[in-house]
Chain A
Amino acid sequence: MSKGKNKIRNTIFYIILSIFAFVQLFPFYLRIVYSLQPKDFLPEIGKIYLLPEGFHFENYIEAWKMSNLGVGYKNSLIYVTIFTIVSAFIAILVGYVIAKKKFRGRKIIFIMLLSTLMVPAEVLLIPNYILIRDLNLLNKLAALIIPGLVNIVGIFLAKQFLETLPDSIIESAYIDGASEMKIFFKVVLPLSGPVIATYFIITYTQMWNDYLWPMIVTNKSEVFTVQLCMMGFQTNFQTGYDMILESAALITTLAPIVIVFLIFQKKFVEGISMTGIK
């Protein structure tokens, strides 16, 4: 690719890319404007408001209170964090055993694990819901966490990564008399840093944004996740105070994850490219 040589062509490219960026940003910008409007704001038909009539940040406080977003944030943080840590741990453990241990049935186990990638989680909604219900776990943290803990994509990533790890590192730890546990915790886990970071960041956003499974297994507002709180907020009135509060709640839900993305952008990009290409 000729970098930056063809001026006319590149100008056109800049324009097209800018249009795409604009199309994606503009509606959200308008929602930010909307969220800052005064309580009695009523838009005129056919008028686009590029700036709010004053900055009413108290809308955010009101939206936060109304939609129980505080509880939602707390629940989501607890649930997603525990989920991501435990499932990352399992992925590294299984990936390590399959990549580095010689045992009968290793290939078969790996192929069987991989083949379940073909089964969409949506197909298993009903049996897993019934099981969770029969175990009396509805509306409990465990219901949100346990079913997805064995993350096949994560295991695949971990296995691919750990295969590149030289055997000599693990062997020398053996010779030094380290136990299995010690080798896993002191050698394998620390060396899996890059793959854990990738997995963590992708899974975290994914789980944070998920709504279907949490919606199925919870129906009490005190265990709702952020997304469920936001769902309860959806209004059919596209004018007036409701719309202002909805905009504020929407921005509040979206902002943290965008900020996290901007901080860890490089990891995000690496992670997606890695899981995508394999």
Chain B
Amino acid sequence: MKSISMKKIDNKYRKRRVKYKQEIIAYKMLAIPLILWGIFFVFALFRVIYLSFTDWNIFKAPSFVGLDNYIRIFTNDGALWKAFSNTFIWTVCTVIGHNLIGLGTAYMITCISKGEKFFRAALFWPILVSQVVGATMIEWIFDPSPYGFLNTIIGHFGLKSVAWLSDPDMALVSLMLYPLFLGFGIRMLIYLAGFKQIPKAFYEAAKIDGASNWTIFKKITIPLLKPIILLNIVYTTIESFKVIGPMQLVTNGGPIGSTMSVVLRIYQDGFVENKMGYASSIAVMFFIFILIVTIIQFRFEGETVTYE
């Protein structure tokens, strides 16, 4: 009797020890990744928040200035709001453009009988064009001189050159058009995968009921695709808010701030003008902004998905 209960206790103890040992092993395996993550994500995030309350350039030590930076952002920095509105315009256009073109081309590719793979590759490959190469292309396509690509084509028909990138009213559009036609490949692929997930039986049933292609697309495909559409919209939104490449590499924000973006402001204030404190407060504002947009979008998505 006694020995059995001893054994029981012993067993329990051993089990706990094994469990304990397992936990140690798990933490040992996680240690280095978690430390790296802690330094470059968590610590960095707290540091940028701290820096946003300081005045700091390379030449002197950071001095705490309280809310000064934020007050300046809200009251005395019209250029920053221009950057925010540019980024916002860029995001709205990209989200609509990429998703419409992506959805449209994906639908067309699923419909055609031959050349599916060819078109998938032909429309997707520009995703591989780096920001730097893309910027070189934009510079040339929208070059204001008569030697630029578009001006050459316009000139071919005997028309006058357009100022494109050097015109403050046209510059943002000029920067946007090329990425709009180049960057939709990922959206297209995800929509393609989405189309494949829809069971064929739905279409067949609708066909038997005599529904037209357009009705099928509107009443079956789109509702079933809704979660993927929303997911794509969320991704495109977050990605486009972070835009800096074309603005930095082609126009560097100009002419007269007409193509400034928020991230480019962070870069310029921090690394060009060495105002690390102020740049940090822009970064924090930007972070809060993105957070709010993401939360709104995910809430919106959650609602519609449960509604489905």
Contact = CB atoms under 8 A, between A and B. Distances in A.
B152 interface: yes
B261 to A, nearest CB: 10
Contacts of A96: 29
B112 A123 contact: no
A45 B146 CA distance: 6
A3 interface: yes
A209 B130 contact: yes
Contacts of A20: 101, 105, 122-123, 181
Query: Chain A interface secondary structure, helix, strand, loop or mixed?
Result: helix
Interface in A48-102: 48, 90, 93-94, 96-97, 101-102
B89 interface: no
Interface string B89-121: 000000000000100110111111111000111
Nearest to B200: A1
Interface string B134-168: 01110111010111110011011010000000000
Given A20-B123, A46-B152, A123-B284, A261 B181 contact: no
A113 interface: yes
Interface in A204-244: 205, 208-212, 216, 227, 230-231, 233-234, 236, 238-239, 243
A93 B43 CA distance: 22
Contacts of A166: none
A234 B266 contact: no
Given A20-B123, A230-B133, A97 B26 contact: yes
Chain A CB within 10 A, most for which of B41, B105, B111: B41
Interface string B217-229: 0000100000010
Chain A CB within 10 A, most for which of B40, B122, B263: B40
Question: Which 8 pairs of residues, A with B, have the shortest CB-CB distance?
Answer: A4-B113, A46-B155, A209-B130, A273-B193, A127-B47, A276-B190, A21-B122, A127-B44
25 contacts: A1-B195, A2-B111, A9-B213, A14-B115, A17-B112, A20-B122, A30-B149, A43-B147, A45-B147, A47-B152, A48-B152, A116-B45, A119-B41, A122-B244, A124-B40, A128-B40, A131-B40, A150-B41, A211-B245, A234-B135, A238-B145, A265-B121, A268-B124, A272-B189, A276-B189
Given A146-B40, A212-B244, A216-B271, 7 more contacts: A6-B111, A14-B115, A90-B36, A123-B287, A128-B40, A212-B245, A250-B136
Interface of A: 1-4, 6, 9-10, 13-14, 16-17, 20-21, 23-25, 27-28, 30-31, 43, 45-48, 90, 93-94, 96-97, 101-104, 106, 109, 113, 116, 118-120, 122-131, 146-150, 180, 184, 205, 208-212, 216, 227, 230-231, 233-234, 236, 238-239, 243, 246, 250, 253-254, 257-258, 261-262, 265, 268-269, 272-273, 276-277
